[in-house]
Structures are given as structure tokens and as C-alpha cells.
């Protein structure tokens, strides 16, 4: 259940809620990097926090789709990251992160 999502990136006790209900997806802003869990926007809204630092919009989309297919939540909330943070998946299902254009 929810096998493809790597929760090892979430710090210990980051989520006070169990997965399955309404959830938030995004990058480090959603994860709450640099603030206590209780200060992250998902915690303030009472959502399960699926934010992962460094995520691209592609990854955010994959995580959200898998979460929806696994748990069928009533609502999800997404904070998209910058559009130039992208990924490419090759024929062997390797994920390549496209460097940011400066």
C-alpha cells in the first residue's frame, strides 16, 4: 500500500496524522523546511504532509496521483514549484532531473 512513495525523506514524526485523509503536496515549502512541523501550511490546515524537498512538478504530480489511487481522499492541496524544475524518465524508468536554467 503506497509502495512507490519514499517516505524516508520525511523527518521522524513530521506527520502527526496517518496517511489516507486529505493531503498536501509540494516541495520544501510544503514540507516546511526550516520551520517546526506545527508551522508548516499543511499542519496549519490539518492535512497529511506529502511535501518533499527538491521535488519537481513532475514528481509532485506522480506522488499526488499515487496517493489518490491508494487512499481516495476527499481533497488534496498542491503547491507547485517553479516550472523549470523538471524531470525526464528514460526507457528504463530511470528518473533524470533536468538542471535549472540560469
pLDDT digits (tens, 9 = 90+) for 29-55: 999 988 888 899 999 999 999 998 888
Mean pLDDT of 86-93: 80
- Tell whether 40 is covered by a domain: yes
The strand ranges marked E within 1-102 are: 23-26, 48-49, 76-79, 86-89, 95-98
Task: Return d(Cα 102, Cα 71) in angstroms, integer.
Answer: 39
Task: Residue 83: give the domain boundaries.
Answer: 21-98
Q: Which pLDDT score is estimated for 12?
A: 47
Residue 18: pLDDT over 70: yes
- Tell whether 69 is covered by a domain: yes
Residue 5: pLDDT over 70: no
Cβ proximity of 49 and 73 under 8 Å? no
How far CA 39 is from CA of 7, 47, 100, in Å, comes to: 20, 12, 29
Mean pLDDT of 49-69: 91
- Tell whether 77 is covered by a domain: yes
- Tell whether 8 is covered by a domain: no
C-alpha cell at 84: 523549470
Residue 76: pLDDT over 90: yes
The CATH number of the domain where 46 resides is what? 3.40.50.1110
- Tell whether 3 is covered by a domain: no
Task: Give the chain's domain count.
Answer: 1
Q: Which of 18-22, 46-50, 55-59, 92-96 has the lowest mean pLDDT?
A: 92-96
- Tell whether 44 is covered by a domain: yes
Q: Which pLDDT score is estimated for 96?
A: 76
- Tell whether 4 is covered by a domain: no
How far CA 14 is from CA of 23, 53, 90, 94, 97, in Å, comes to: 13, 13, 32, 28, 26
- Tell whether 52 is covered by a domain: yes
Amino acid at each position: 500500500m503506497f509502495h512507490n512513495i519514499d517516505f524516508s525523506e520525511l523527518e521522524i514524526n513530521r506527520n502527526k496524522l496517518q496517511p489516507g485523509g486529505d493531503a498536501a503536496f509540494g516541495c520544501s515549502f510544503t514540507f516546511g523546511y526550516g520551520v517546526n512541523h506545527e508551522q508548516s501550511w499543511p499542519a496549519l490546515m490539518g492535512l497529511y504532509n506529502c511535501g518533499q524537498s527538491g521535488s519537481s512538478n513532475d514528481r509532485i504530480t506522480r506522488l499526488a496521483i499515487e496517493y489518490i489511487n491508494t487512499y481516495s481522499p476527499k481533497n488534496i492541496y498542491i503547491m507547485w514549484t517553479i516550472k523549470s524544475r523538471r524531470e525526464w524518465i528514460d526507457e528504463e524508468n530511470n528518473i533524470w532531473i533536468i538542471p535549472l536554467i540560469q
